[in-house]
């Protein structure tokens, strides 16, 4: 195995680890970009510069789309919930397994480093893909799995043709583009990237605030009178921002 391929495979693995561990979304996307770009080089023979450039441009464009979708919003990738060490060990173990089983019962037409890196990336990607709770993390998992499978494919069946490289670039762009659209939609709908579990409440205030203290207690056995309709309609459903805006626009009763 050539040192270049081994080095490229390890760099791809490191990039994937950064992508899944970093909490800063820019850093995570940078790691993903490195992993996707370097993965194209782990093949024997190395693809043409044009093919590598196409895949690099597609990955960069896709990462930029995700960045645009979450720009100016308080949204960060959640990072790995179990820290970077466990994914690192899992990825390293899968890397070794992939290297040792290159070909998997068939004569491999590509370098073992590609299969090894593919297994490593797949092991890293499965976690966020299955258990990911926010859109960007799931998207990173999908993009890494696509990269992983392309590496495994290069390890088993040799260097992809130029047409397949183009199709793979389109696939990367489609996955990251989908992630960008979903992230944008999740932020618009939920003010958060979370799609699983308890998301952030869209109503910032509690639904039934106790404005004037607790209601007077009712003697036992006596029915409480029905509450009068609220004079301000559905004001209790307004967000904090809407309440403040309304109170600023209304005349101050206490002044008179």
Partner 1 sequence: MSPLPFIVISLAAAAASLVAGRRAGPATVVGLAGLLLTTLAAGLISPGQSVRLGSSDLLVGSAYARQFLVLAGATGLITCLIGLATTWPAGLPAAMLAGLGGIGLALSVTDPLVAVVVLLATAVAISLAALSAPITIADVRAVSRSARLIVLAGALAVASLAWVAASLGGIGADPGAFGLADLAIVVATAVRFGTIPFHRSVAGLTNSAPGPAVPLVLVWGPAALAVVAVGVTNGAVYPLLVPSGIGQLVIVILATATLVLGAVGAWLQDDLEHVVGYSIIQDAGFVLLGLAAAGADGGAASRSWLLILVVVKTAFAAWATVVAVRFRTARLPELGGWARRSPLLGIALAGIALATIGAPGLLAWQVRWSLVDGVTGGLPALILVLGGLASLLYYGRIALVGLGRQSLLVAAATGDRPVSPARTGPTGQTIRSAWEANRAPIASGLVLVLVVLSLLVAAGGLGGPEAARAVGPLAAPSAGPLDISGPSFVPPQASPSG
The region of 27-35, 40-48, 102-110, 236-244 touching partner 1 under the rule CB under 8 A is 102-110
Q: Find the binding residues for partner 1 in span 162-201 (CB under 8 A).
A: 163-164, 167-168, 170-171, 173-175, 177-178, 181-182, 185-186, 188-190, 195-196, 199
Minimal distance, residue 112 CB to partner 1, in Å: 13
Tell me which residue has tokens 């466990």.
Answer: 86
Segment interacting with partner 1, rule: CB under 8 A, options 93-101, 159-167, 227-235, 246-254 = 159-167
Q: Which is nearer to partner 1, 15 or 177 (CB)?
A: 177
Tell me whether residue 7 or residue 149 sits nearer to partner 1 (CB atom).
149
Q: State the sign of the Cα–Cα–Cα–Cα dihedral 126, 127, 133, 135.
A: negative
Q: From start to end of the chain, where are the E strands?
A: none
Question: Does 1 help bind partner 1 (rule: CB under 8 A)?
Answer: no
> Does residue 103 touch partner 1 according to CB under 8 A?
yes
What DSSP state is assigned to residue 237? G
Within a 10 A sphere around the Cβ of 67, how many other Cβ atoms? 16
Span 10-69, contacts to partner 1 by CB under 8 A:
none
For 124-133, the CB contacts below 8 A with 24+ separation are: 124/13, 124/16, 124/17, 124/20, 124/87, 124/90, 124/91, 124/94, 125/16, 125/20, 127/20, 127/80, 127/87, 127/90, 128/20, 132/196, 133/78, 133/194, 133/195, 133/196, 133/197
Examine residue 152 and tell whether it contacts partner 1 (CB under 8 A).
Answer: yes
Q: How many CB atoms sit inside 10 A of residue 188's CB?
A: 9
Q: Which of 149, 205, 238, 243 binds partner 1 (CB under 8 A)?
A: 149
Nearer to partner 1 (CB atom), residue 105 or residue 216 = 105
Give CA separation, 147 vs 48, 60, 153, in Å.
18, 14, 10
Is residue 14 within 8 Å of residue 81, measured between CB atoms?
no
Identify the residue among 109, 204, 240, 244 touching partner 1 (CB under 8 A): 109
Q: Which two tokens stand for residue 103?
A: 């070909």
Q: How many residues at the interface with partner 1, by CB under 8 A?
A: 47
Query: Rule CB under 8 A: which residues touch partner 1?
Result: 103-109, 122, 129-130, 135, 138, 141-142, 145-146, 148-150, 152-153, 156-158, 160-161, 163-164, 167-168, 170-171, 173-175, 177-178, 181-182, 185-186, 188-190, 195-196, 199
């Amino acid at each position: 195995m050539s040192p270049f391929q081994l080095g490229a495979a390890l760099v791809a693995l490191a990039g994937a680890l950064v992508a899944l561990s970093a909490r800063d979304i820019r850093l995570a996307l940078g790691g993903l970009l490195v992993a996707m770009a370097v993965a194209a080089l782990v093949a024997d023979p190395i693809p043409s510069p044009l093919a590598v450039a196409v895949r690099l441009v597609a990955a960069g464009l896709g990462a930029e789309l995700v960045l645009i979708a979450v720009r100016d919003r308080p949204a960060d990738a959640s990072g790995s919930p179990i820290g970077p060490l466990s994914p690192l060990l899992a990825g390293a173990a899968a890397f070794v397994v992939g290297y040792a089983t290159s070909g998997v019962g068939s004569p491999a037409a590509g370098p073992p480093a590609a299969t090894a890196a593919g297994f490593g990336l797949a092991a890293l990607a499965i976690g966020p893909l299955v258990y990911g709770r926010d859109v960007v993390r799931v998207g990173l998992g999908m993009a890494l799995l696509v990269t992983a499978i392309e590496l495994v494919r290069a390890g088993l069946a040799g260097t992809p043709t130029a047409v397949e490289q183009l199709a793979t670039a389109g696939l990367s762009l489609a996955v990251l583009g989908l992630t960008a659209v979903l992230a944008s939609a999740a932020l618009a709908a939920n003010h958060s990237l979370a799609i699983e579990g308890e998301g952030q409440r869209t109503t910032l205030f509690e639904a039934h605030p106790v404005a004037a203290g607790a209601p007077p207690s009712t003697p036992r056995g006596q029915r409480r009178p029905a509450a009068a309709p609220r004079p301000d309609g559905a004001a209790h459903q307004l967000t904090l921002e809407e309440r403040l805006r309304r109170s600023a626009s209304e005349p101050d009763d206490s002044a008179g």
